[in-house]
Homo-oligomer: A and B are copies of this chain.
Amino acid sequence: MTATTSTAAGAARPAARPSARERLLTAADELFYREGVQSVGIDRIIEHAGVAKASLYNAFGNKEGLVRAYLELRHERNRLRVTRAMTRYRTPRERLLGVFEAQGELFTTPDFNGCAFVAASAEAPHGGSVELAAGEYRHWLRGFLTDLAAEAGAPDPEALARRLHLLYDGATLSARMDRDPTAAATARAAAVTLLDAALPAEPAGS
């Protein structure tokens, strides 16, 4: 994922330039996320990446392939961000709330612009590969929350996960639409209430 993951040729030069494919993906990630998939043309991307147009079509086939790679990158990065944040917490209940705290940090990121999958789905035609990628991402997050809810001892982990997922989506949407990073704190507070109602009483000891 980082610059040093390319071939051994990177050792020859101190600051190995990333491959054309990596530069394209980085540029696409920035521009697609900031301005939308439809609004950003191929020319803007190759210019931003400092790459020839043929390299793009050689590496990704067409624009749709680049969009797919962009969404896969977003999926993986979101997955890493959430799972890594979990290491800071101990109990499943803390981890469930930690998801919203990680969200709050994300919202204060200067280039935060909402959920990439929601935005891409709004622009793409129905039933295409974009909606497929969005479905995969949402399915992962749903399963992640369900597993945590089960570990926390929820009688109906699926139901709890669905409710928390609503809060998560709503917070992302509000942070984007209302430019309000505190939406994550609001969601966390609501999640506390939902957890208190859904989870059995917490054990006193560790």
Task: Give complex CA distance A174, B114 in Å.
Answer: 15
Interface of chain A residues 164 through 184 with chain B (CB within 8 A):
165-171, 173-174, 176-178, 183
CB pair A173–B169 under 8 Å, yes or no, is yes
Say which residue of B163, B173, B187 sits within 8 Å of A118 (CB atoms).
Answer: B173
Contacts of A122 in B (CB 8 A): 36, 114, 118-119, 122-123
Task: Give complex CA distance A162, B125 in Å.
Answer: 32
Q: In the complex, identify which listed stretch (A12-20, A61-69, A75-83, A189-197) lies at the interface while the others stay far away.
A: A189-197
Q: Does A186 contact B (CB under 8 A)?
A: yes
Task: Give complex CA distance A206, B194 in Å.
Answer: 28
Say which residue of B35, B125, B169 sits within 8 Å of A35 (CB atoms).
Answer: B125
In the assembled complex, the CB of A186 is this many whole angstroms from the nearest CB of chain B, namely 5
Task: Give complex CA distance A194, B163 in Å.
Answer: 11
Contacts of A123 in B (CB 8 A): 36, 38-39, 122-123
Contacts of A154 in B (CB 8 A): none
Closest residue of chain B to A139 (Cβ to Cβ) is B178
Contacts of A146 in B (CB 8 A): none
Given contacts A123-B39, A125-B35, A193-B194, contact A174 B167 (CB under 8 A): no
Say which residue of B134, B166, B193 sits within 8 Å of A183 (CB atoms).
Answer: B166
Contacts of A165 in B (CB 8 A): 170, 174
Q: Does A138 contact B (CB under 8 A)?
A: yes
Given contacts A122-B36, A123-B36, A123-B122, contact A163 B189 (CB under 8 A): yes
Q: Please report A residues at the B interface, Cβ cutoff 8 Å.
A: 35-36, 38-39, 114, 117-119, 121-123, 125, 134-135, 138, 159, 162-163, 165-171, 173-174, 176-178, 183, 186-187, 189-190, 193-194, 196-198
